[in-house]
Amino acid sequence: MNLPIEILHADCDARFWRGRVQSHGRLLAFSEENLRLVSWSGTWPRPLATDDELEDVIGMQAAHALRNLLAKTGSTPSPGILSGVELSGEEQSFDVFIHRYSGHVIVELEEATAGESLIQSAIDPAQALARRLQASMSAERMAATATRIAGALLGYDRALLYRVSNTGEARIMAETLRAGSRLGSLADSAPLAEAVFLAGNPPLPAIRMIADTGSETMPMMPDGMANEQPDLAHAQLRCLLPEHAAALARHGIAASLIVPLMGENGLWGVLSCHHPSPRRLTAPERAGLELFGRILALQLTEAERRDARLREEEARQQLRQMTLEIRQEARAADMPSMHAHVPALATLLRADGVAYGESGRWLAHGATPDMHGLEQITALSDSTGDIYETNDLAGLGQPLGRADLRALLIVPLSLSPRRHLIFFRVAGPAGVTGQRGPFCREDRARHRGRTQGRLRGYRGIPARPAGAPGKAAPADPGRAEPPDQEHHHAHSFHRAPDRRPCRFRPGFFRNAGGASSGTLTRP
């Protein structure tokens, strides 16, 4: 399922229709300074006029409750919610959202569902999540469980959980699809950019729901001031532009729901739900989903840390075993003794290829350049004597002998003799993020200099987006670490959030010799 580029890379604000709202609710915009009416949606049943006061529009009792709620929300655009509010002259009660943004107070009203409890609706999803998730779960298994719970509780045909990097790149961690659904799977395709949080700037809206991509939208009143309408960036009733709504409809999506998963350092991920027919969640249900999302983000963050610790311990065990075997083989002092260990080095960093070189002699495994390309690449590190990394090998203009290589990490093990360890990753399909990706975020060498004959510690950094063609996919959060070298340069390699180095034992490659100069050997 290949999705059109206009919904893959659409700008957040440009995708929404300024001056129009969804038709299942009412919206009022007041001046923040004096709470006088500035604009209102065309769904309001009776005539209104600019400069009307809040009490004149919704009644004294409801206005008093909303003023108190507005005082509690503070200056952030996060909305406050009241359930079962009765308006003057209205028989139906309403669920009301209220928030401040860009000099206006936005009030949104949706008809309340009989018997719907705000407290119970907020607690039920969180309780269901807490009962099902276990502390011993891996992050991937926890994500799969969360999507199944979300799909069952919310009644959407498809639920996906995206892991979002701090550069905005999204990777589908888990997907649940209801049996017999017409929508199909998105696991092997590029992520839908209707997850508007990926392109937006903080502060992020709480939840974004499109109830019906095919429904008629309603204009904001009064007429003739579309370019002067209040900013509805955080409004619940904000609607898509017709071309973007039509793009979703062409792929069978009639309703969508997006729940941000906020972690310690901002947006951790996005829970996205799709349905082939119109579907609207009530205001209490959406309030419950916000709590659901916060709990899920905390659980997933902790699970990722736990997974990283397990990977680090596994890497340490592999390195200890590898070091022991190399020492036992050191009597031969011949480079072919490294044959069995070069592939293992690739698995430590989940690289597609790895090459070990000493003074022009090379051992290579997996996706690597030819010998001439390896020599050209090592010159990038020799100029600084430091670690070199890039996510755009094609941009270097170096002849590599392979066109699919996109990311590399060069580790200079020693200067005399010249020893290098180089890891490679290949590019995935454009816009599709796989399990492996670039070793770095930016196309640049990291100049750290030398400190008393030793290289400074290397700290892994997040990957930059892989949506553009020719870029490798984002790196896996957990990383192993290249070896120390006795009496030579050494470095550490670890995952930034945990700040836990995973060092190779000294002398890792000390006794690895080689064949004649200018050779490339593959295990």
Residue 321 near residue 504, CB atoms below 8 Å: no
- Do the domain assignments include residue 274? yes
Do 248 and 297 lie in a common domain?
yes
- pLDDT reported for residue 324: 77
Rounded Cα–Cα distance for residues 241 and 218 (Å): 12
- Do the domain assignments include residue 200? yes
- pLDDT reported for residue 378: 79
Q: What is the CATH number of the domain that holds 377?
A: 3.30.450
In 262-388, which ranges are continuous DSSP H helix? 283-329, 342-348, 371-382
Do 413 and 472 lie in a common domain?
yes
Q: How far is CA 335 from CA 340, 355, 363, 517, 523, in A?
A: 11, 13, 8, 12, 11
Return the residue matching tokens 């779960």: 137
- pLDDT reported for residue 167: 62
Strand partners for 407: 425
- Do the domain assignments include residue 315? no
Packing angle, helices 283-329 and 139-154, rounded to 10? 160
Q: How far is CA 353 from CA 4, 366, 392, 469, in A?
A: 32, 4, 16, 20
pLDDT tens, position by position, for the chain (523 residues)? 333 323 333 334 445 667 788 998 999 999 998 999 999 998 888 888 888 999 999 999 999 999 999 998 888 788 888 888 999 888 889 999 999 988 899 999 998 876 656 666 667 777 777 777 776 688 899 999 999 988 888 889 999 898 887 666 677 889 898 887 877 777 655 444 443 334 343 445 578 888 998 888 888 888 756 556 788 888 888 888 887 788 788 888 899 888 888 888 778 888 889 999 999 988 888 888 888 888 899 889 999 999 888 888 888 888 788 777 777 766 555 544 566 777 777 777 778 888 888 777 888 888 888 888 888 777 777 766 678 888 777 777 666 777 778 788 888 877 776 778 888 888 654 333 333 444 543 323 333 333 233 323 222 223 333 344 444 444 443 433 333 333 332 222 233 333 333 333 333 333 333 333 345 555 5
261 CB neighbour count, 10 Å cutoff: 26
Strand partners for 424: 353, 408
In 43-117, which ranges are continuous DSSP H helix? 54-58, 60-73
- Mark residue 120 as left, alpha or beta (left: phi above 0; alpha: psi -120 to 50; beta: remaining): alpha
Question: For residue 9, what is the DSSP state?
Answer: S
- pLDDT reported for residue 57: 92
DSSP run (H or E) holding 274: strand 266-275
Cis upstream peptide for 222 (omega within 30°): yes
Residue 280 near residue 211, CB atoms below 8 Å: yes
- pLDDT reported for residue 462: 30
- Do the domain assignments include residue 308? no
Do 373 and 457 lie in a common domain?
yes
Q: How many domains does the chain have?
A: 2
Rounded Cα–Cα distance for residues 237 and 79 (Å): 13
- Do the domain assignments include residue 314? no
The residue length of the chain stands at 523
Residue 98 near residue 73, CB atoms below 8 Å: yes
Contacts of 326 by beta carbon, 8 Å cutoff, 6+ apart: 337, 338, 341, 508, 509, 511, 512
Do 281 and 338 lie in a common domain?
no
- Do the domain assignments include residue 428? yes
pLDDT, tens digit, for every residue of 37-70?
Answer: 999 998 888 888 888 999 999 999 999 999 999 9
Do 403 and 279 lie in a common domain?
no
Do 250 and 380 lie in a common domain?
no
Compute φ and ψ for 197, nearest 5 degrees: -65, -25
Rounded Cα–Cα distance for residues 247 and 373 (Å): 44
What is the number of alpha carbons within 13 Å of residue 166 lying toward its C-beta? Answer: 12
Residue 369 near residue 417, CB atoms below 8 Å: no
Residue 238 near residue 16, CB atoms below 8 Å: yes
Do 79 and 221 lie in a common domain?
yes
Q: What is the CATH number of the domain that holds 243?
A: 3.30.450.40
What is the number of alpha carbons within 13 Å of residue 504 lying toward its C-beta? Answer: 27
The range of the structural domain enclosing residue 416 comes to: 333-521
- Which has the closest alpha carbon to 37: 58, 23, 19, 21? 58
- Do the domain assignments include residue 320? no
Helix and strand counts by DSSP (H, E) for the chain: 9, 24
Strands in 519-521's sheet, in edge-to-edge order, are 444-445, 388-390, 405-414, 419-426, 353-358, 361-366, 519-521
Do 21 and 162 lie in a common domain?
yes
- Do the domain assignments include residue 396? yes
Do 114 and 229 lie in a common domain?
yes
Question: For residue 493, what is the DSSP state?
Answer: E
86: three-class secondary structure by DSSP: strand
Do 376 and 254 lie in a common domain?
no
Do 490 and 428 lie in a common domain?
yes
475: three-class secondary structure by DSSP: coil
Q: How far is CA 222 from CA 19, 58, 165, 217, 231, in A?
A: 10, 18, 42, 15, 15
77: three-class secondary structure by DSSP: coil
- pLDDT reported for residue 216: 86
159 CB neighbour count, 10 Å cutoff: 26
Rounded Cα–Cα distance for residues 239 and 23 (Å): 9
- Which has the closest alpha carbon to 495: 268, 318, 309, 298? 309
Do 46 and 100 lie in a common domain?
yes
- Mark residue 184 as left, alpha or beta (left: phi above 0; alpha: psi -120 to 50; beta: remaining): left
Q: What is the CA radius of gyration of the chain?
A: 28
Report field, pTM of the whole predicted structure over 0.75: no
Strands in 238-240's sheet, in edge-to-edge order, are 80-86, 93-101, 104-111, 26-31, 37-41, 218-221, 16-21, 238-240
